């Protein structure tokens, strides 16, 4: 049963002492142990290298054409000709690196142009770039002084969790998407310091959406600031694609938006946007922004060009949602549990990681790459399946055929089991 498998994973031996008898800091259980168990069962799911892409939108893996159904390139812009041309031009003009931090020598005009464009697009006063979305999340620490308290959704992305922990204040969590629990937590932590509520917009693994309006109301009851990480809803939700703050009607009522450019913008890099005073505070104080080389010219230009395409071609968003619905409907019709997603991130859950791993390997064999995940990265053992606007109906049909064929062989995980508590 699943407990045997869990025991097997927990009992992978590790060297635990050094020659001096102390614990070896490098000998800790982790993903490599799960990987070893999976590999012993013929499942090779992590750090697989893509060799390139075909014209018709397939990735090359071990010389085979596969549907990349685990990418965050939601609008299909990472290989868009305009995006590539802009990146090449920027390299010619500015070089491969800016060789330093924004504050000292590493600012180029493209950074300023991109910040102004993103601020306008997001309907915010100001925006500041970070070199990755993760670093944008870490920048939260600069808003958390000793007396402050930060409240985060228990399923928040690791970058927000770490950003909150790195601050000097107290960190509290509230139950997943539960504004009432947040209210209790806020009331219990009354004090002289500031309060910050932090949530993912769309949650990265299960594709469910934060109740942002309710969170705003609860935060307002105790004068707390509200921060949303729109990594997975920027370019995806909202009438113009500005994300959850737009679709929730909160553009003028958000204290900070965090965005990554590694998803819908098909590039890399992070952004914080919001009221000018808030952005300024982090720009001048967040160590993850100050002490790291700035976004490379190619990535900056690629993001700018991608933003042009995003604004000019709203049909890409329509296609993403159409393909997402096709995927959801097809999987549900076969009896897979895709709760609680309402977005193009489709989680398929399994009783345990080895079972999910066997399914992953079957899909890989059938030419479909998904994201294999499980606790603590995800709440449950799961395959995270995504579509992008670079796909078309045949790609999604390929994915569905593969799921059907593997389920015929391995069985469909039960869809009617209650979700375990968070």
The residues binding ligand PMP (CB under 6 A) are: 132-134, 137, 157, 159, 200, 204, 229, 231-232, 260, 262, 270
Residue number with CB closer to ligand PMP (262 or 370): 262
What is the smallest separation between the CB atom of 269 and ligand PMP, expressed in angstroms?
A: 7
- Category of 411 on φ-ψ map: left (φ > 0), alpha (ψ -120 to 50) or beta: left
User: Residue 79 Cβ, how far from ligand PMP at the closest point, in Å?
Assistant: 18
Q: For residue 64, what are the β-bridge partners?
A: 61
CB of 64 to ligand PMP, least distance (A): 26
Residue reference for tokens 């991130």 = 345
**Cα 317 to the chain's mean position, in Å?**
18
Q: How far is the CB of 73 from ligand PMP (least distance, A)?
A: 12
What span, in angstroms and rounded, lies between the C-alpha atoms of 157 and 263? 14
Using the minimum distance from each CB to ligand PMP, give the nearer residue, 164 or 406: 164
C-beta closer to ligand PMP: residue 266 or 354: 266
Nearer to ligand PMP, 228 or 361 (CB): 228
Sequence-ordered list of residues with C-beta below 8 angstroms from that of 209, at least 6 positions apart, any chain: 201, 202, 203, 233, 237, 244, 342, 343
Q: Is the CB of 73 or the CB of 148 nearer to ligand PMP?
A: 73
CB of 72 to ligand PMP, least distance (A): 7
* Residue 294 beta carbon to ligand PMP: minimum distance, rounded to whole angstroms: 14
Q: How far is the CB of 229 from ligand PMP (least distance, A)?
A: 5
Q: Cβ closer to ligand PMP: 106 or 270?
A: 270
What is the nearest approach in angstroms of ligand PMP to the Cβ of residue 261?
A: 7
Task: CB nearer to ligand PMP: give 139 or 171.
Answer: 139
Q: Which of 157/395 has CB closer to ligand PMP?
A: 157
CA–CA separation, 389 vs 68, rounded Å? 12
For residue 263, the minimal CB distance to ligand PMP (Å) is 7
Q: CA 262 to CA 414: how far, in whole Å?
A: 34
Q: Which 3 state secondary structure label does DSSP give 302?
A: helix
Identify the residue whose tokens are 């895709």: 338
Distance CA 59, CA 336 (A): 25
Q: Please list the residues that pair with 60 across neighbouring strands.
A: 52, 65
Q: Is the peptide bond before 322 cis (omega within 30 degrees of 0)?
A: no
Report the residue number, 200 or 206, with the smaller CB distance to ligand PMP. Answer: 200
CA atoms within 13 A on the CB side of 105: 5
The answer to whether 279 and 140 have CB atoms below 8 angstroms apart is no
For ligand PMP, the closer CB: 137 or 179? 137
- Token pair listed for 167: 């601050």
Do residues 153 and 173 make contact, with C-beta atoms less than 8 angstroms apart?
yes
**Which CB sits closer to ligand PMP, 278 or 371?**
371
3-state class (DSSP) for residue 385 = strand
The angle formed by the CA atoms of residues 287, 289 and 82, to the nearest 5 degrees, is: 165
Neighbours of 191 (CB within 10 A): 10
Q: What is the DSSP string of 233-264?
A: TTTTSSSSS--HHHHTT-GGG-SEEEEESSST
Least gap, CB of 133 to ligand PMP (angstroms): 2
Give me the least distance between CB of 139 and ligand PMP, in Å please. Answer: 12
- Nearest residue to ligand PMP by CB is 133
């Amino acid at each position: 049963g699943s407990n045997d498998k869990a025991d097997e994973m927990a009992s992978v031996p590790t060297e635990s002492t050094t020659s001096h008898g102390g614990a070896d800091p490098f000998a800790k259980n982790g993903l490599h142990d799960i990987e070893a168990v999976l590999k012993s069962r013929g499942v090779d799911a992590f750090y697989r290298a893509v060799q390139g892409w075909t014209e018709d939108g397939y990735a090359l893996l071990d010389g085979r054409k596969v549907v990349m159904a685990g990418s965050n390139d939601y609008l299909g812009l990472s290989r868009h000709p305009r995006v590539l041309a802009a990146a090449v031009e920027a390299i010619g003009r500015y070089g491969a690196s800016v060789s330093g931090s924004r504050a000292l020598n590493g600012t180029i005009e493209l950074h300023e142009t991109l910040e102004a464009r993103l601020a306008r697009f997001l309907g915010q006063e100001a925006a500041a770039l970070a070199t990755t979305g993760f670093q944008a999340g870490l920048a939260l620490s600069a808003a958390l002084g000793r007396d402050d308290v930060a409240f985060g959704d228990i399923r928040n992305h690791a970058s927000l969790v770490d950003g909150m922990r790195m601050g000097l204040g107290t960190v509290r969590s509230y139950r997943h998407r539960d504004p009432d629990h947040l209210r209790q937590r806020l009331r219990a932590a009354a004090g002289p310091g500031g309060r910050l509520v932090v949530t993912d917009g769309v949650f990265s693994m299960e594709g469910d959406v934060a109740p942002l309006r309710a969170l705003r109301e609860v935060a307002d009851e105790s004068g707390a600031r509200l921060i949303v990480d729109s990594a997975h809803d920027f370019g995806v939700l909202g009438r113009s694609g500005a994300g959850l703050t737009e679709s929730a009607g909160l553009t003028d009522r958000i204290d900070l938006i965090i965005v990554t450019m590694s998803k819908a913008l098909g590039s890399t890099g992070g952004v914080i946007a919001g009221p000018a005073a808030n952005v300024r505070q982090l720009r001048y104080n967040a160590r993850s922004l100050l002490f790291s080389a700035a976004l490379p010219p190619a990535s900056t230009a690629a993001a700018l060009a991608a933003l042009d395409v995003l604004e000019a071609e709203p049909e890409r968003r329509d296609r993403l949602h159409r393909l997402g619905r096709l995927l959801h409907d097809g999987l549900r019709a076969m009896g897979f549990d895709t709760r609680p997603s309402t977005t193009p991130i489709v989680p398929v859950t399994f009783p345990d990681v080895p079972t999910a791993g066997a399914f992953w390997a079957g899909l890989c064999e059938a030419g479909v790459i998904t994201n294999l995940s499980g606790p603590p990265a995800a709440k449950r053992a799961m395959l995270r399946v995504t579509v992008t606007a670079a796909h078309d109906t045949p790609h999604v049909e390929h994915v569905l055929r593969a799921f059907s064929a593997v389920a015929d062989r391995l069985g469909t995980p039960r869809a009617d089991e209650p979700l375990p508590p968070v």
